[in-house]
Structure 1
Amino acid sequence: MFLKAKKESDINLEQHELLEHAQIRIKQKKRLYAHFIIFLVGSVFLVLINKILKYGEAYDWFIWVITFWSFLFVMHLINVFVTQKFMGLAWERSQREKLVKKQKTRIAALQKEIETEFPISQINKKKED
């Protein structure tokens, strides 16, 4: 009975993790789409400022601004769609397991060091005295 309850709680925990991950991905994609819309509107606005309002008309500065902004948008796009595939949920889980294993190894080494420096038999003798 206990094992069945534990398995159900593990399943619920895993479902909760998957739901959390899905919500995070939705937010990332939503921000990316918002960035794209702002990029389009902002680019048109920059062209209008330069060409129609004739602000800095001697030099087409908007090209450099839009190029730099395009670069930032491409970086955002890569972060959302490429990097997340390599460093997604499975990667996070494996990294977490590696860190837990490393911590357990350190704790075991510390316990062994303590046991060799302060054996329990010596502690018991000191208590008896």
Structure 2
Amino acid sequence: MFSRHKKESGIDLEQHEQIEYAQTRINQKKNLYRHFVWFLIGGTGLVIINKVFKYGETYDWAYWIIGIWSMLFLVHLVNVFILNPFMGRDWERMQREKLVLQQKEKIANLRKQVEKEFPLPTVPKKKVD
């Protein structure tokens, strides 16, 4: 339990990141499929309520709700299959590196400016005889 010889994990950091990324992608796709199933069940239920049970039959409100819901599903679909892979982990890493580089450049410029405007005094060294 408190021994010095701990078992090392068989997974290195890069593999761990890949596993986490795969897990998030699986969850995104699973949620999309779940959304689609609820869309089908809900849309069918709305049409049945509107047409079969004749609730508000003077106006086809179910089709409006299904249309809006389908737009939301389309946004979800685009987010999971188009935007997320395009702006995924590699894109985030590139953006992060770019921003860190910009910050380092700003800090270097500020440091130069401070050293130029407020130079440190130099103390002459004493000669030791």
Same fold (TM over 0.5): yes
Kindly report the root-mean-square deviation, in angstroms, between the aligned alpha carbons of the 2 structures: 1.6
**TM-fit CA distance, 1:98:** 0.4
**TM-fit CA distance, 1:84:** 1.4
30-39 or 15-24, which deviates more: 15-24
Separation of aligned partners in 2, 1:117 and 1:24: 51
Amino acid at match of 1:27: N
> Which runs of structure 2 are paired with 1:44-59 in the superposition (5 Å)?
44-59=44-59
**Normalising to structure 2: TM-score of the pair?**
0.80
In structure 2, the partner of 1:14 is 14
**TM-fit CA distance, 1:51:** 1.4
Amino acid at match of 2:64: W
**TM-fit CA distance, 1:15:** 2.2
In structure 1, the partner of 2:127 is none
In structure 1, the partner of 2:82 is 82
Separation of aligned partners in 2, 1:54 and 1:79: 36
**TM-fit CA distance, 1:58:** 1.3
> Which runs of structure 2 are paired with 1:1-129 in the superposition (5 Å)?
12-120=12-120, 122=121, 125=123
In structure 2, the partner of 1:3 is none
Q: 5+ residue gaps in structure 1?
A: 1-10
Amino acid at match of 1:80: V
Change in CA separation of 1:119 and 1:12 when aligned onto 2, cut-off 3 Å: farther
**Normalising to structure 1: TM-score of the pair?**
0.80
Separation of aligned partners in 1, 2:99 and 2:111: 18
**TM-fit CA distance, 1:85:** 2.2
Identity %: 58
Q: 5+ residue gaps in structure 2?
A: 1-10, 124-129
Separation of aligned partners in 1, 2:28 and 2:47: 28
Amino acid at match of 1:67: G
Number of residues of Structure 1 aligned to a counterpart in Structure 2: 113
**TM-fit CA distance, 1:104:** 0.7
> Structure 1 residue runs of 4+, over 4 Å off?
none
Separation of aligned partners in 2, 1:119 and 1:16: 48
Structure 1 or 2: more helix by fraction: 1
**TM-fit CA distance, 1:18:** 1.8
**TM-fit CA distance, 1:14:** 2.2
